[in-house]
């Protein structure tokens, strides 16, 4: 029986063009993070269930690939990488003074086929700023996320900034029985505004907060939305959130990204996890957020080192999908030289290959003797810019597309190819 060559359902192979785009995007992201003083850490693909139990919500835990290791401990493949970073900060890095700026890149896995749009393995690049609270830290992470999106070559994007406390304040203020409140929260998290509306319609006491909840998806715009919302809320938590958002926005203008920032008071996120400013990054005409992040001041405490923290992650495979779909998709870098040889030309071909690579050229040396006609056929198959057919120690035959083939000494050909001439 032929093995299943398509791979496992929900897992993807990345072919050369895709793989190259993804890797380049990852390097651009990590390089941008390093420029902001974030240090790269690599955490394992496997974490113990103890750690993940402490760090993740029930739903996230349910979706993990779990198994037992040789000692009988339950371990899982990571479904996100913030919790492993938190484990590091509270553990091996506990002697290091805060704030700490760390970044990471790697695959994450999920058993749920519906999630990640049928993909069970995706790639995330993220940054965490641990040990700093307040708008300056929030703005730094948002600005970093924006510059990261730019660094990959995404030309048009927007960042929506919201605040988890605005939502919590509203939920505190609405006068509803606990049971109804729970249903309202559930409907909102499910983005089900039909149910939300019918729940709120049935309640006698209407407050300004009712109105805000019903208009949740439309509570977005520029700085004017803060004044509009400020005129409606009558609770301290939401008011404090609004003034914090106003400050973060000022700082983002100073960071130079004021024009891509939108305020979104109706952002619906994991409100159990996020404790403050939250944000999402969107690319053009793309149905899902590419970057997601925010403040999570409660996580580190669960690992015994209480500390405020904020961070974000970028879905690397969405970035590369967006780049591939762009009007001018990136091209796979071409081979500069294909080096073919006759029986007496192998040494020359190997030497020439080394020389060209020293100059940063991409050169491939053939694996068997070829005649001139065979060499040309092979050249077309590998798609290199130059063909050098090495005929001996002193002479090579050099071909460039659209030009006459010439016989020259190998050093001269190397100099011309590396020098970019002809």
Partner 1 sequence: MIGSEQVSLAIPTGALLSGSLSLLAHSRLARLNAKELGRQLLVQHGGLRVILVRPSDVPAYVDHGAADLGIVGKDILWETPGSHYELIDLRFGGCRLVLAVPEASPLNGPDTWPPMLRVATKYPRTAASWFEARGQAVEVVRLHGSVELAPQVGLVDGIVDLTATGQTLRANRLRVAAVLGSSTARLIANQASLKTRTAAVQSVVSRLREASGNAS
Residues that bind partner 1 (CB under 8 A): 114, 117, 156-158, 160, 190-195, 197, 217-218, 220-221, 262, 264, 280, 282-289
**Quick check: 51 and 363 in contact, CB under 8 A?**
no
**Nearest residue to 48 via CA among 102, 84, 88:** 84
**H-assigned helices in 36-103:** 49-55, 58-62, 82-90
Cα–Cα distance for residue pair 102/127, rounded to 1 Å: 6
Select 209 or 321, whichever has its Cβ closest to partner 1: 321
Rounded least distance, CB 96 to partner 1, Å? 37
Select 221 or 306, whichever has its Cβ closest to partner 1: 221
Cα–Cα distance for residue pair 263/298, rounded to 1 Å: 24
Select 262 or 389, whichever has its Cβ closest to partner 1: 262
Select 292 or 310, whichever has its Cβ closest to partner 1: 292
Rounded least distance, CB 161 to partner 1, Å? 11
Q: CB within 8 A of 316, min separation 6: which ones?
A: 22, 25, 26, 29, 105, 122, 123, 124, 125
Rounded least distance, CB 288 to partner 1, Å? 6
Give bridge partners of residue 74 from the DSSP assignment: 68
Select 98 or 183, whichever has its Cβ closest to partner 1: 183
Rounded least distance, CB 192 to partner 1, Å? 5
Class of residue 133 by CB neighbours under 10 A (exposed 0-12, middle 13-18, buried 19+): middle
Cα–Cα distance for residue pair 223/240, rounded to 1 Å: 15
Rounded least distance, CB 80 to partner 1, Å? 17
Select 114 or 402, whichever has its Cβ closest to partner 1: 114
Rounded least distance, CB 193 to partner 1, Å? 5
């Amino acid at each position: 029986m032929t093995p299943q060559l398509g791979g496992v359902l929900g897992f993807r192979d990345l072919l050369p063009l895709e793989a190259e785009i993804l890797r380049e995007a990852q390097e651009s992201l990590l390089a941008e993070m390093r420029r902001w003083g974030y240090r790269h850490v690599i955490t394992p693909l496997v974490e113990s269930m103890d750690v993940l139990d402490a760090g993740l919500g029930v739903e996230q835990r349910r979706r993990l690939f779990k198994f037992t290791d040789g000692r009988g401990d339950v371990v899982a493949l990571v479904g996100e990488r913030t919790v492993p970073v938190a484990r590091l900060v509270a553990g091996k890095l506990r002697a290091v003074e805060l704030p700490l700026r760390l970044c990471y890149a790697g695959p994450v896995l999920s058993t749920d086929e519906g999630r990640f749009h049928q993909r069970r393995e995706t790639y995330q690049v993220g940054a965490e700023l641990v040990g700093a609270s307040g708008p300056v830290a929030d703005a730094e992470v948002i600005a970093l996320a924006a510059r990261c999106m730019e660094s990959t070559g995404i030309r048009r994007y927007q960042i929506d900034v919201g605040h988890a406390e605005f939502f919590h304040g509203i939920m505190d203020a609405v006068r509803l029985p606990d049971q109804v409140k729970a249903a309202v929260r559930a409907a909102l998290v499910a983005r089900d505004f039909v149910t939300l509306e019918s729940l709120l319609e049935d309640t006698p006491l209407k407050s300004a907060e009712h109105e805000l909840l019903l208009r949740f998806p439309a509570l977005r715009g520029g700085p004017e939305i803060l004044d509009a919302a400020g005129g409606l809320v009558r609770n301290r938590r939401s008011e404090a959130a609004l003034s914090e958002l106003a400050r973060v926005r000022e700082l983002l203008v100073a960071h130079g990204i004021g024009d891509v920032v939108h305020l979104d008071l109706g952002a619906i996120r994991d409100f159990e996890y996020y404790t403050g400013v939250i944000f999402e990054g969107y690319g053009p005409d793309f149905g899902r957020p590419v970057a997601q992040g925010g403040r999570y001041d409660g996580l580190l405490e669960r690992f015994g080192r209480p500390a405020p923290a904020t961070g974000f992650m970028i879905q690397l495979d969405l970035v590369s999908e967006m780049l591939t779909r762009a009007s001018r998709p990136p091209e796979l870098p071409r081979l500069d030289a294909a080096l073919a040889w006759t029986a007496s030309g192998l040494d020359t071909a190997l030497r020439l290959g080394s020389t060209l690579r020293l100059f940063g050229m991409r050169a491939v040396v053939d694996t068997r003797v070829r005649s001139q006609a065979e060499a040309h056929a092979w050249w077309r198959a590998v798609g290199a810019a130059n063909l050098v057919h090495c005929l001996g120690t002193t002479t090579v035959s050099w071909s460039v597309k659209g030009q006459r083939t010439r016989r020259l000494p190998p050093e001269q050909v190397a100099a011309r190819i590396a020098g970019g001439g002809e």
